[in-house]
Structure 1
Amino acid sequence: MNWYVVDELQLEAKLGLVFFASSMPRLLFMLIGGAIADRVNKATIMLLSDLTKGLLLIAVVALLFVDLFSIAVLIGLSFVFGLLDAFFWPASSSLMPSLVDRDQLTRANSIVQTTQRASTIVGPLLAGLIIGIGSYEIMFACVSVMLLLAAGVDIIIRKHVTIHDGQTDERASIWHNIKDGFRYLKQSPFMIALMLSSVALNLFLSGPMQVGLPIFAHDILDGDEFTYSLLSGTLGVGTLLRALLIGFLNVNRKRGIVALIGLMSLGVFMVSFSLTTVLIVSLIFISLIGFVISIIDVPIISAIQANTESQYIGRIMSLMSFASMGLIPVSYLLTSLMISIGFAIDTILLLSSICLIVVGICVLLFARSIRTVD
């Protein structure tokens, strides 16, 4: 859809509206989605989301055939997709403890992470290939078919999932359930410490890497679009390989410590990356950056899932997503602001990496529970 805005509609200035339309409902309704995930069958929420998206894309194909797929329709579609994601992701991320044993959570989450990492590499390539040799109609039709197939998988999953083992008060309001989730979180310094680590990761990594990487390739390495593609591809391969290794090792002990070590290692590799001016050295360090990212996120997700009571899992996972996703736009804004006032991108990367190291050390020193809980 983003390429359609730039290539077909030639409305590059409107692309920001598309991103905004999809991101805002995710933030605004994520907590509600988590509360609902604790009240109904999570696979049912996933089914409704995938099915609705699949049907909407069939409508998009029809609009493309009659040349009525305008920017206004696309912005509205992005808003609906973002709204559906706000309910889908809390249900999806909190579903795993219902499907696998607790000692297999790390391996299971690694499989999911590996699939997601691979899809971000392969998906755009396939979409570009289909558009290049076919058309937007064929591409959107293919995605629609895949979403409808996913809905079929959701039906199968739904048969094996109960709502929860504990009891969520379904007579209470959604707002009461959300506040109850906050109260539950406040009672667990361990989960607060893990969430702080996830928040730091998104705040100090997302903006400097996403916004800064093409600038780093151009200004620091004196490269072109091929240089940028090499850096991006190497980062993606590194995250994919690490997710595979984490799944193979299936870390079940001291997952909080493992995540913090990964966070501080990430800071060290980012410091090294910010100081490089040679492409081959930059590729080595950015592969290491991608390599350690999965050391952080997979153990954090697995540890939170393993230590959360089943009736709260949807709300806790939605709180985690809300905290981390909410700061990604802030990270973009801060990075852009620092660039606009004259900070060089290598300086921004250096400062961000130091912040990651400091957060990791502080959590490790002051959050005692994170050293003992698995």
Structure 2
Amino acid sequence: MTSTLIAPGTAIGKPAHRDPNVLRWLAAYTSSMVGDSVYYIALSWAAVQQGSPAQAGAVMAVSAVPRALLMLGGGVIADRFGPRRVVIGSDLVRCAAGLSVAALLFLTSPGLWPLALLAVVFGTVDAVFMPAVGALPARVTTRDQLARVQGMRGLAIRFASVVGGPLGGLAVALGGAAAAFGLAGLLIAVSVPLLISVRMRELAVDDKAEAGGGSADAGDAGDAGEGAGGRGAAPGAAVLGAPDSEARGAPAPAPAPDKASARPTTPLGDLKAGLRYIRAHRVLAPLMLAIALGDLGFVGPLNVGLTLLADERGWGASGMGWVLSGFGVGAGAAALLLTVRGRLPHAGHVAGWAILAGSVAIGALAFVPGVPAAVGVALLVGLLAGLSGALCGALLQTQADPAYLGRVTAVSSLVSLGFAPLSMPLSAAAIGAWGTGPVFVGSAAVCGLGGVVALCVRDLRRAELPG
């Protein structure tokens, strides 16, 4: 599993959507995401069958705790041991856990405890898996293709959400929760051989030494760029603080580690170094704030808020489904645009205005008269939110030194998946007190602040995607 074919570091890459290496990675990621969707269907169904609604809700929520607590540590692990190894190991653990619970449910009726344990295992593994997934694209393609890969990843997520739900429901209908868990495990297992076949781009020797954590031993020579000593910048990436980058008007990122002080580091030291790197970076620091504000203002209204709005307006479950479909189509269109174009000029500028326009559409959603108008507004929200999200993700990928990309992704994921969901119960309570209109407008204002940050911070506003 540790042997890897090394793609030439200086080769000019193909367009990502025509590169078999990237397509193998995309197939692995898509299979894993579809397996995740089936897993959540299986877990929710099994929990409802085995316990009360309150107990089922607790089982569904328990995975969020280890995910939030361990996410930053997961970023350190991804950078120390290499994202491909971490993703493969995570998928193996998730596959084994899902198949074990499937066998247990097939043989007996064990109650809720194995489901709760499975949720904890998945949440713990997700804390490592998500940062590694974010760091992996920089190792399989060139910098100028990372924006296109971000669009392809968005399409994979949309495909998984559309296909995974019905597939999980069909498995439950045919064979119960045991069959659904088994199917989820098999889908996740498909990603492992695909990931093993993906070639990693070689990282420069000097950069490996800079990243800290020692040098790779002979046994890891085939995994160049992924071991504890292979966390440096990819060939062809902009040199941090290089004078020519300033001459072109590009923001100078935070300085790279001092080569003279390179020495083995501790995981805690790596974590602190990653946080210092983000804080000192003239693009990543404001980008993290813009992402946090955008997610905090977006998650509440488009989750619990939409359900309460549909109930208040009498749209029913079908009407809410149509609105959600409109959002999904818009987000998919944005991902497709980035996949086809590969690069949009003035990325920081466009992302800021897209966040602002999307926030206006979020506020307007509470005041539309009927389902057709709500679907149209939701499509606009999805398009703008998908565009700004994809651009922010692409800027994060291209601005961060690969030595820190796992930790950078961990911070971004913690904001999106750890803090932003906290707005859902707050949104529900606020809607109960003041109604949907004021809460949607307030959430839109918070989301819009992310766009203000993106447009007011010069280095982020002027940030460009390579191409």
TM-score, normalised to structure 2's length? 0.76
Sequence identity (%) = 25
Residue among 270, 294, 317 paired with 1:201: 294
Once the two structures are superposed, the pairs formed by residues 73-222 of structure 1 within 5 Å of their partners are 73-157=114-198, 159-161=199-201, 165-166=207-208, 167-170=210-213, 171-219=264-312, 221-222=313-314
* Paired amino acid for 2:436: I
Matched-pair contact (CA < 8 Å) for 1:262–1:292: yes
Q: Give the superposition deviation at 1:128.
A: 0.7
Distance 1:121 1:160, change over 3 A: same
The offset of 1:253, in angstroms, is 3.3
**Distance in 2 between the 1:162 and 1:3 partners?**
45
Name which of 99, 103, 112 aligns with 1:62.
103
**CA deviation map 1:241-283 (0-9, x unaligned):** 2211121122253222221111011112112212112111111
Task: Kindly indicate whether the alpha-carbon contact (under 8 Å) linking 1:127 and 1:139 is maintained by their aligned counterparts in 2.
Answer: yes
C-alpha distance in 2 between matches for 1:259 and 1:214: 28
Letter of the 2:367 counterpart: L
CA distance in 2, matches of 1:322, 1:76: 22
**Following TM superposition, by how much is the alpha carbon of 1:61 offset from its aligned partner in structure 2, in angstroms?**
1.6
> For structure 1, which segment, 114-123 or 8-17, has the greater mean C-alpha deviation from structure 2 after superposition?
8-17
Note if 1:370 corresponds to 2:460.
Answer: yes
Q: Distance in 2 between matches of 1:69 and 1:2?
A: 16
Equivalent in the alignment of 1:275: 367
Q: Is the contact made by 2:51 and 2:111 (CA closer than 8 Å) also made in structure 1?
A: no
Residue 49 (structure 1) aligned with residue 90 (structure 2): yes
Runs of 4+ in 1 over 6 A off after TM superposition: none
> Equivalent residue for 1:238?
330
Question: Whole-Å Cα distance in 2 between the matches of residues 154 and 57 of structure 1?
Answer: 19
SS of the aligned residue for 2:75 comes to: helix
Task: Name the structure 2 match of 1:4.
Answer: 46
C-alpha distance in 1 between matches for 2:307 and 2:424: 14
Task: Identify the residue that residue 438 of structure 2 maps to in structure 1.
Answer: 347
Cα deviations by residue, 1:172-221 (Å, 9 ceiling, x for unpaired): 111110000111112113111111111112111111210011111110x2
**Residues 173 and 265 of structure 1: CA distance in aligned 2, closer, same or farther (over 3 Å):** same
Amino acid at match of 2:415: A
Query: Residues 78 and 131 of structure 2 are in contact (CA less than 8 Å); yes or no, is this contact kept in structure 1?
Result: yes
Structure having the higher helix fraction is 1
Deviates more, 1:83-92 or 1:348-357: 348-357
Q: Structure 1 CA distance, aligned partners of 2:118 and 2:164?
A: 20
The DSSP-based 3-state class of the residue aligned with 2:297 is helix
d(CA) in 1 for partners of 2:180 and 2:70? 29
2:76 alignment counterpart: 35
Q: 2:28: which partner in 1?
A: none
> What is the root-mean-square deviation of aligned Cα atoms in Å?
1.7
Task: Verify the 8 A CA contact 1:21 1:76 in the aligned structure 2.
Answer: no
Give the letter for the 1:293 counterpart.
Answer: A
Q: What is the rounded CA distance, in whole Å, between the counterparts of 1:49 and 1:190 in structure 2?
A: 31
In the superposition, relative to structure 1, how do residues 343 and 298 fare at CA in structure 2: closer, same or farther (>3 Å)?
Answer: same
26-35 or 64-73, which moves further after superposition?
A: 64-73
Partner of 2:80, secondary structure, is coil
Distance (whole Å) between structure 1 residues aligned to residue 421 and residue 448 of structure 2: 22
Aligned-pair CA distance for 1:95: 1.0
1:38, 1:163 within 8 Å by CA — same for their partners in 2? Answer: no
> Residue 316 of structure 1: CA displacement?
1.0
1:290 counterpart letter in structure 2: G
**For the Cα contact (< 8 Å) 1:40–1:163, is it kept in 2?**
no
Deviation sequence 1:107-158 (CA, Å, 0-9, x none): 111101110112112211111122223332222222111111111122223x
Where does structure 1 lack aligned partners over 5 or more consecutive residues? none
Quote the offset at 1:76 in angstroms: 0.9
Partners of 1:136 and 1:40 lie apart in 2 by 35
1:5-52 Cα shifts (integer Å, max 9, x gaps): 22x224210133223321111111111111111111211111111111
Letter in structure 1 aligned against 2:446: C
> 1:53, 1:147 within 8 Å by CA — same for their partners in 2?
yes
- Aligned to 1:169, the other structure's residue is in SS state coil
Alpha-carbon separation, structure 1, partners of 2:396 and 2:385? 17
What is the deviation of 1:354?
2.4
Determine if contact 2:330/2:386 at 8 Å carries over to the other structure.
Answer: no
* Cα distance in 2 between the residues matched to 1:362 and 1:91: 28
Q: Give 1:227 deviation, angstroms.
A: 1.3
AA aligned to 1:47 is: I
Shift of 1:298: 1.1
Q: What is the alpha-carbon distance in structure 1 between the residues aligned to residue 417 and residue 410 of structure 2?
A: 10
Q: What amino acid is aligned across from residue 138 of structure 2 in structure 1? A: P
Q: Which has the larger radius of gyration?
A: 2
Report if the CA contact (8 A) 2:338-2:344 is conserved. no
Q: Which of 392, 416, 423 matches 1:324? A: 416
- For 2:212, the aligned partner's letter is D
Match of 1:258 in 2: 350
Separation in 2 of the partners of 1:344 and 1:89?
35
3-state DSSP of counterpart to 2:283: helix
1:290 matched to which residue of 2? 382
Structure 2 counterpart SS, 1:251: coil
How does the TM-score come out when normalised to structure 1?
0.94
**Alpha carbons of structure 1 residues 162 and 319: separation in structure 2 relative to 1, 3 Å:** farther
